[in-house]
Amino acid sequence: MSLRLQQPQLRNVDHGRTSTIEAGSGPAFERGIARIADPAVSLMGRSGHRARRLIDSDDPGFADPFLLMAEDWMPRGAFAVHPHRGIETVTFVIDGTVEHYDDVGHRGVVRSGDAQWMTAGRGVLHEENALPGTMAHVLQLWVNLPATMKMTAPRYQDLLGDEMPTYGQDGVEVKVFSGEFDNVSAKTLNHVPILMLEVRLRPEAAVKLSLPSTDNGFVFVIRGSVNVGADAVAVTLGQLAWLTRSDKKGVSQLSLRSGEGSCRLLLFSGPPLREPVVFGGPFVMNTEEGIKQAFRDFEKPRFERVGKPAGNHTAD
């Protein structure tokens, strides 16, 4: 997906505009909430497509290694065929069904509760679509690739919710889409070690997670309300809450607790890349020249753009 939307309205919580706080002297720094985004939904033309940008490109250093996250309520045809380079897209279907195909030959269908993890790498031309006559409610996160992996081979993983390894205990269900939680690990292949969890809490349930203290992360609430961190800040349906983080390497803890109702949320975290970020429409590279090259390459026929398969060293 590729669209421009208004900037998210950011509401700062306790620690102001910075997410970085000192780790303190304890063995594990307790995560809190740095800021909450809950932007307005915009109507995208006359097709009934509505969308909002939960993470935008205004502060890539803050979001690093994440770039963008859009929430779409989309009919078929909301997005035309379009390219990507230099990123991975993680699409989570909240409701409905999304079909996908690309010019590398990948095809897939993801339904409510499923995710699709696409590595654009050096380039794909693709289309993502709701089924005819239906709307799909979808989150799409763009994860940055490090400079060394910007031109890696495209890769595509369907992560079906029913097949993801799951931790379940004491009113807590944690579905591991990427990374590991409490010795439950996903087989999902990563270029950047991203933790992606879907967490469901029954009423009055709680869970603690350990995260590298320097990793950047956020939670997005799909249902109900969750109390986050030592200060138990309430994060409610539709809000995206960035977690505080530390500059000091170590372990951090994140506490999630439900109230009188149940809740469902997604949690993402990953190590910042700390590299220059240059946005150019559907491409994200490290330099302006990299963006110009991407636009030049995508005007070429497919063979020239994608190149020969890896390992083909014949002189023909």
Residue closer to Fe ion (CB basis): 143 or 197: 143
**Residue with smaller CB distance to Fe ion, 36 or 120:** 120
Reference 68, options 120, 106, 18; nearest CA is 120
- 198: nearest Cα among 227, 170, 231, 220: 220
28-30 and 10-12 strand pairing: unpaired
- The runs of H, that is alpha helices, within the chain are 60-63, 288-297, 302-306
**Residue 114 C-beta: closest distance to Fe ion, Å:** 17
For the chain, how many helices (H) and strands (E)? 3, 28
**CB of 110 vs Fe ion, minimal distance in Å:** 13
Within residues 227-246, the interface with Fe ion by CB under 5 A covers: none
Which of 96/229 has CB closer to Fe ion? 96
Q: Min. distance of Cβ 105 from Fe ion in angstroms? A: 16
Binding to Fe ion (CB under 5 A) within 1-20 occurs at: 1
CB of 192 to Fe ion, least distance (A): 18
My answer on whether omega of the bond before 65 falls inside 30° of 0, hence cis, is yes
Closer residue to Fe ion, CB minimum distance, 245 or 305: 305
Kindly state whether residue 139 participates in binding Fe ion, applying the rule CB under 5 A. Answer: no
The residue (of 194 and 207) whose beta carbon lies closer to Fe ion is 194
Site string for Fe ion, 85-104 (x = CB under 5 A): --------------------
The answer to whether the CB of 98 falls within 8 A of the CB of 227 is no
Size of the site for Fe ion (CB under 5 A): 1
Give me Rg for the CA atoms of the chain. 19
Q: Rounded to the nearest whole angstrom, what is the least distance from the CB of residue 191 to Fe ion in the complex?
A: 17
Least Cβ distance, residue 294 to Fe ion (angstroms):
14
State which H helix or E strand residue 51 sits in: strand 50-55
Answer whether 63's CB lies under 8 Å from 143's CB: no
Dihedral (C-alpha) 56, 57, 60, 63: value to the nearest 10 degrees?
Answer: 10
For Fe ion, give the closer residue by CB, 33 or 70: 70
Query: How far apart (Å, rounded) are the C-alpha atoms in residues 31 and 195?
Result: 16
- Residues in region 178-217 near Fe ion by CB under 5 A: none
Cβ atoms 167, 209 nearer than 8 A: no
Q: Answer for the pair 216, 19: CB distance below 8 angstroms, yes or no.
A: yes
Q: Shortest approach of Fe ion to residue 256 CB, angstroms?
A: 30
* Position of minimal CB gap to Fe ion: 1
Closest of 159, 157, 135 to residue 72, by C-alpha: 135
Cβ 140 to Fe ion, closest distance in Å? 7
When the beta carbons of 15 and 76 are compared against Fe ion, the nearer one is 76
Q: Which residues contact 6 (CB under 8 A, 6 or more apart)?
A: 39, 40, 42, 53
Quick one: 13 or 120, whose CB is closer to Fe ion?
Answer: 120
Binding-site ranges for Fe ion (CB under 5 A): 1
